[in-house]
Structures are given as C-alpha cells and as structure tokens.
Amino acid sequence: MCGIVGYIGNKKAKPILIDGLKKLEYRGYDSAGIAILNSGEINVVKSKGRIAVLEDKLKDISLEGTIGIGHTRWATHGEPSDINSHPHISKNGKIAVVHNGIIENYIQIKEFLLAKGYQFKSETDTEVIAHLIEYNYEGDLIKAVIKTLNELEGAYALGVLSTDNPDMFVAAKKDSPLIVGLGQNENYIASDIPAILKYTRDILILEEKEVACISSDKVEIYNLLGEKQQREVFHVDWDVSAAEKGGFEHFMIKEIFEEPAAIKATISPRIKDNEIVLDNLIITDEIINNCEKIHIIACGTAYHAGVVGKYIIEKLARIPVEVEVASEFRYRDPIINEKHFTIVISQSGETLDTLMAMREAKKKGSLTFAIVNVVGSSIAREADDVLYTWAGPEIAVASTKAYNTQLAALYLLALTFAKRKGLLDQHSYLNYLSQLQELPNMITSVLNEKKEIQKFASEHFNAKSIFYIGRGLDYALSMEGSLKLKEISYIHSEAYAGGELKHGTIALIEEGTLVVASLTQEQLFEKMIGNVREVKARGAVVLAIAQEKNADEVAKIADAVITIPNVDSVLAPIVAVTTMQLFAYYVAVMKGNEVDKPRNLAKSVTVE
C-alpha cells in the first residue's frame, strides 16, 4: 500500500513521476501527488482520488524541473483529502517529504514541534517528519535526515527533497520497501520494480535503516551512524511485458491464465532425475528429524495457503503444524524454540506483519524459511532459507497465481520432509512427483471450463450472501475461495467446515441462498454429499466442485457442477482453487467492479 517514486537527471521529472505512480496503482491508494524542484522552489501538486485527477490538475501548471518525488497514498492517519495527500512541506517551504509506513511516536514529536512554534496543516504522521527534518537541519541534509530517523519509531520509506540541495535528494528505509534505480546520468527511487522498469533494469536494494543520497551521477548509501555502505547492483531480468495486460481485460484474469506456466516455473526446475532437489537449503535431515513443531505464519491469501500446508505436512511428514495469522503471532508471546521450524509465506516479501512475526520467531531461536515471490525482498533477505515461487510479477491486488505457486512450494517441502523421514515409499513418492508435473495441464483443463463458470456467475452475481463449504483440504480451499469473492465482488461471504453446518450455521440457509460446495476429497466425499443434501433441503442453490470421476453423482443433487481432472486428494486444492478464482472474477465483472483495484485494499501491506 502507498507508492513512492523519485527522479533526478536531465529529463523533465513530471512525466516520469506520473508514469511511475501509474505503475504503482496496483498497490492501492486514495490520493496522489508530486513535488518538483524548479528555480529554487518546491512546487507541490496533489489531490484526493485517482492519478487521473492529479493529471487534470497538472494540465495548466508548468513544471520544468528535472528533480522530484511522487506518492500514492492509502490513508492511515487522516481521511483521504487534498490536504492529507503527500508530499508534505516543512514550515519554511524548503523541504518536501513522501512517506510510506506509520510513525508510532508521531504524537509525542508533534507536541514537541508545536511547542517550538510549528503549525500543522494535515492530520498525517508524515507532516511531522518534514517539520522535524527542518528542525534538525544545520546545513547538511543527510545529517538532518539521519538525526530525524534516529528519533522516529515505526516503519518508513522516505523520499526527501530540499531547495538547499538542487542536485540531490535523499531516500531512507525501515520495514517498508524501497529500491534505487540506476540510469545513465539519471537515477530513481521506487517502492517496487515495475515503477521504474521502463527506464532501468539495474537497482540497489536498500537494507534496513539505511539512507541513500541520490544525485544524477552517483548514489551513496549510509547507515544511521553515517557510515558509508557498499551494495551490489541487482539486475532485473524479467520482461517488461510481464507487467502488461497482454490482451486480457484485467490483470487478474491474465494472471489466472498464467497459473499453468507459473506452477511449472516453480516445480520443474526443482525435480531432477525423479527427485525433488531444493538447492542451497540448510534444512538437513537432522533438522527435519529433530523438529518438534512447524509454525506457518502469513496473512490473508498466504495464510490460506498455510492452512493447506498444515494439512499436507501433517499428513505426509507427520510433523505437528500450527498456522498463525502474522498480526496475532508476535503479540501473544508465542511458545517457540530452537527445536521448532518456522515457515513464513508472502507474495511481496514485504508484508510487515509477516516480517515482524518472522523476526520474533528468529529471536526465540527458530530457524526460518521463507516462501516468497519477489527476489531480494526483506523477508527473503532476512530468512535463514528461501524458496522463491517464480510466479512472475503479480499486478492485480487479489492474488491468484501467487497463491497457486505458494501451494506448489509447500507441496515440494512436504514431500521433501516426508521422503527424508522415510515416511513415503518410492512408488508413492514417484506418483506424487508425476502428478505435480501434471498440474499445469490439469489447471489448463479447468481454464477451458471458463464459459461454464462465467454462465453460472452471470446467473448469481446479484446474490446478497454466499457460503462456501468443504471438509478437510476442501475447507482450507473454501476459505480462499470465500476471500477471493469478498475482495473483488464486495458480496458477504463465509467459509464453513461442512461438518459444522448442523452446529449453528445452517440457520443462515434459506430459499435461494447460494452455496459453493467443494467435494474433491475422496475419503470425505460421502460426508460432503450429505452436507449438500442438508443445504438443498433448506432451499439452497448449490454450485459444486468435484473430480471428473464423481461428477455424475454430484450432478444428481447440485444445481451446477464444475469438474476438475482426477487427481490425488492431497493435490486437489491447487487445481480446484482456479475454479473459485474464475467464479469470483466473473461475479465482480458482472457487477461492474474495478477488478484489479478493489476498494480499500492494497497489494503490498507494509503497515501493521
């Protein structure tokens, strides 16, 4: 959430800043603004609403400067408004600041500054930073920023512009992503790679509590002691076109159709000569055999992937697993030690709740293992081990292919643990490997059923409430299906374990209530048939998801059936979830919603 861009060079900054902000729209925002240094003055233009509103404001304003910073804001302090939008200006008008994150001690600092005669125009914590840098400024902007950062508590990614320094600007980072892009006689900053990929493929990744001094011909990085830091250049090798729609109406549907390729990219390089090979991992046989418990920590969609991971690791590797919501984990004094193993899951690798929870686990002695999509992200760098999902850029806010590849990574881990513990015979192991490699083809089969799913969505997109039910892995699957629908359709939806219906939930079922029932688990199939009969008897309309071999039986009691290829029950969720993603997508489209940018949500959640 929130996005930062910055530019210095020999070109006009305005179009570069606007282009970069547009590339960051997927992160979610409610206002936007830019600050450009021109002829000794900082010109700020900002507005509530989409970037198009900002562009309208800029039409009649001449901004010729070649250095500037820009921001898209997702409100945390103060309602969305022109005044609360970034950038924010210091009292004397000489310093402009853009900021992602939350400053936890801003009230104390604000009271201090008020006593010193400073006045505040906005309700934000960011304006505090601008005034405090001015207060600390004694002729050296880097020293003023470092002194200010040492007084701040919380998370930040910053861009700082000063009229006294027309040939440089400053960037800083703590617990919120920020990169530096390197060009020819020009340099950039951004919250994420797509914002500047059009201009450069060479980047520097700022580490925790680092400050960068950026001019057109060089970049210098310092720690908060003012000591210079060395950094290797990271070269981005994925295609710019991967972040474009490629003929699809929305990024979300494009990314759903990319799932077969993404899963293949996650799995294929890691299966060699009928063996799962996870190179350079420190997870030894001793660690696996001595592991008393695994903690899986994540948020949102990644948390639902973790619930699937719990089922499959416990079933195959017989290691107890706890799945934890990251935002709760670190605040309950978790029981964890060096004999425990912690898996953290995050698409962006910058999810702040997950990052902080991982640090808590490390502090208590646990080895940490990250499943992330973004190379060089904070979680990837700080974890003891990392397994990249290689899903490619995911632009739509609602995660699809990243979720599927997270499941694929969890399957690779679960099978590796089971094999090393001697719990899988060779025949079963090879059968799983064979089916893993068939997953892309299976999901392609599901995608070929899109018209059937679209038809059902067109008949039920006006539903007021939708319930998802399943047992075992199907319950875990239902949780993600329900979330996907809520995220983009804004229809109330809940997921329930099929066996829990009779304990209260069935009171909510009435004539015409839509129920999405998953029946992909072989040993629980008859139980789920009974649950479908229960809701049908009370007037529910049922969309069922079943394996092909059971389709005819399910069709006798359900109103519609979406089939997936026959697959081992353990692997069924990774195939079946695509049907739910498609259903959610088509319902949202039928409702006329902005599918890629659902209201109030952001792609990368970098605040607690």
Given a contact cutoff of 8 angstroms between Cβ atoms, the answer to whether 148 and 103 are in contact is no
Given a contact cutoff of 8 angstroms between Cβ atoms, the answer to whether 95 and 142 are in contact is no
What digits encode the pLDDT tens for the residues 411-451? 999 999 999 999 999 999 999 999 999 999 999 999 998 99
Q: Which residues is 297 bridged to in the sheet? A: 324, 344
Residue 604 counted as domain residue: no
- Kindly tell me if the per-residue pLDDT of 89 is higher than 80: yes
pLDDT at 507: 78
- Mean pLDDT over 392-399 rounds to 84
Split at pLDDT 50, 70, 90, the class of 154 is confident
Whether residue 228 is found in the same domain as residue 257: no
- Kindly tell me if the per-residue pLDDT of 77 is higher than 90: no
Give the C-alpha distances (Å, rounded to integers) separating 487 from 188, 395, 453, 490: 33, 15, 18, 6
Q: CA-to-CA distance for 466 and 535, rounded, in angstroms?
A: 12
Percent of the chain with pLDDT over 90: 70
Point out the catalytic residue in the list 110, 147, 264, 603: 603
Whether residue 425 is found in the same domain as residue 453: no
- Kindly tell me if the per-residue pLDDT of 28 is higher than 80: no
Q: CA-to-CA distance for 188 and 182, rounded, in angstroms?
A: 7
Given a contact cutoff of 8 angstroms between Cβ atoms, the answer to whether 336 and 312 are in contact is no
Domain span including residue 196: 3-237
Q: CA-to-CA distance for 485 and 222, rounded, in angstroms?
A: 45
pLDDT at 272: 87
291 has catalytic annotation: no
- Kindly tell me if the per-residue pLDDT of 244 is higher than 70: no
Give the pTM: 0.72
Residue 519 counted as domain residue: yes
2 has catalytic annotation: yes
CA 552 to chain centroid, in Å, comes to: 39
Residue 422 counted as domain residue: yes
Split at pLDDT 50, 70, 90, the class of 366 is very high
Residue 54 counted as domain residue: yes
- Kindly tell me if the per-residue pLDDT of 605 is higher than 60: no
- Mean pLDDT over 183-187 rounds to 96
Whether residue 557 is found in the same domain as residue 579: yes
Whether residue 74 is found in the same domain as residue 221: yes
Whether residue 382 is found in the same domain as residue 462: no
Q: Which amino acid does the sequence have at 237?
A: D
What digits encode the pLDDT tens for the residues 536-553? 988 899 999 999 999 999
Split at pLDDT 50, 70, 90, the class of 361 is very high
Split at pLDDT 50, 70, 90, the class of 607 is very low
Alpha carbon distance, N-terminus to C-terminus of the chain: 11
Point out the catalytic residue in the list 2, 213, 291, 299: 2
To the nearest whole number, what is the mean pLDDT of the chain? 91
- Kindly tell me if the per-residue pLDDT of 519 is higher than 90: yes
- Mean pLDDT over 165-171 rounds to 96
pLDDT at 246: 64
pLDDT at 85: 92
What digits encode the pLDDT tens for the residues 93-131? 999 999 998 888 989 999 999 999 999 999 999 999 999
Whether residue 440 is found in the same domain as residue 456: no
Angle between helices 401-420 and 300-317 (to 10 degrees): 20
Report the CATH number at residue 531: 3.40.50.10490
Residue 575 counted as domain residue: yes
pLDDT at 102: 82
| Positive/negative CA dihedral, 372, 343, 267, 551 | negative
Residue 603 counted as domain residue: no
Residue with the bigger pLDDT between 604 and 497: it is 497
Per the structure block, which two tokens stand in for 16? Answer: 């570069």
**Is the bond preceding 87 in cis, omega lying within 30 degrees of 0?**
yes
Domain termination site, one of 390, 414, 448: 448
Whether residue 147 is found in the same domain as residue 199: yes
- Kindly tell me if the per-residue pLDDT of 393 is higher than 90: no
Whether residue 154 is found in the same domain as residue 40: yes
What digits encode the pLDDT tens for the residues 336-350? 988 999 999 998 888
Residue with the bigger pLDDT between 101 and 89: it is 89
pLDDT at 331: 85
- Kindly tell me if the per-residue pLDDT of 322 is higher than 50: yes
Least confident of 53-62, 240-249, 479-488: 240-249
Whether residue 430 is found in the same domain as residue 541: no
Q: How many domains does the chain have?
A: 3
- Kindly tell me if the per-residue pLDDT of 280 is higher than 80: no
Q: CA-to-CA distance for 315 and 312, rounded, in angstroms?
A: 5
Whether residue 475 is found in the same domain as residue 347: no
Whether residue 178 is found in the same domain as residue 225: yes
Split at pLDDT 50, 70, 90, the class of 76 is confident
Tell me the three state secondary structure of residue 173: strand
pLDDT at 410: 97
Residue 564 counted as domain residue: yes
Whether residue 217 is found in the same domain as residue 307: no
Report the CATH number at residue 81: 3.60.20.10
DSSP 8-state secondary structure symbol assigned to residue 399: -
Domain termination site, one of 427, 448, 469: 448
Domain termination site, one of 237, 254, 270: 237
Residue 328 counted as domain residue: yes
Residue with the bigger pLDDT between 528 and 330: it is 528
Q: Which residues is 415 bridged to in the sheet? A: none
